[in-house]
Amino acid sequence: EDGDGAGGNDGNGRSKNTGPSWDASESQIFLCTWGFCSLLSIGRNLYNRYSRTNPVVPVKVKLRQGNTNRRKNEEIYDALRQYMEEMVLPHARHLPSSLISPSMKKKIREMNREEGEVLFLPPEFRYLRLYKDWCLHRGKVVKFKCTRLSHMYPTDQFPDRPFDDQWPEGSVSKEVFSLKTFRSFWKSEYPLLMLQAEMKDS
């Protein structure tokens, strides 16, 4: 007599494998061979021995939190990239060599770049100012622990932006990165975009 589900008996006492029985109400995740072996901490030889007798290996796994966080981070990176392209880069400009400080010229040479390749933002632009503005675009208000601007609360403790003409009622706030990550992203994605405020000497 046949058993339940995908199993059963072929009449000789051997179980027959007719394929997995999926629950359509559940999300299914398919793993490659390497991922399957890593998940179970087994080697390829053991996997090959098992797969010869069990050609179909149904595996149900919960999505790891890291995968969810990775997708969430990608959304924040995309939003930050869009902010840079639309709100920051339009203000950038080239500077004549006479207006570039010696220390900045040295920095540009160390990057193996020419002065004409570098774009500068006006002196009033600062990392912190732009970071606070980006957070506002995400519906968050940067919160400081004290008067020292370097001491911020964790981003998950930033309060939501209050409703106003530019942030109408019903707007939904979204997560933001820290100032440190904001600057690291800038340096990685826009290495030739610099602040005039960084030029200390003339």
How do residues 173-183 score in pLDDT, each as one tens digit?
999 999 999 99
Which position has the higher pLDDT, 7 or 89? 89
CA angle 72, 83, 180 (to 5 degrees): 65
pLDDT higher than 90, residue 64:
no
How do residues 89-105 score in pLDDT, each as one tens digit?
999 999 998 888 898 88
Handedness of CA 83, 198, 187, 172 (dihedral sign): negative
pTM: 0.63
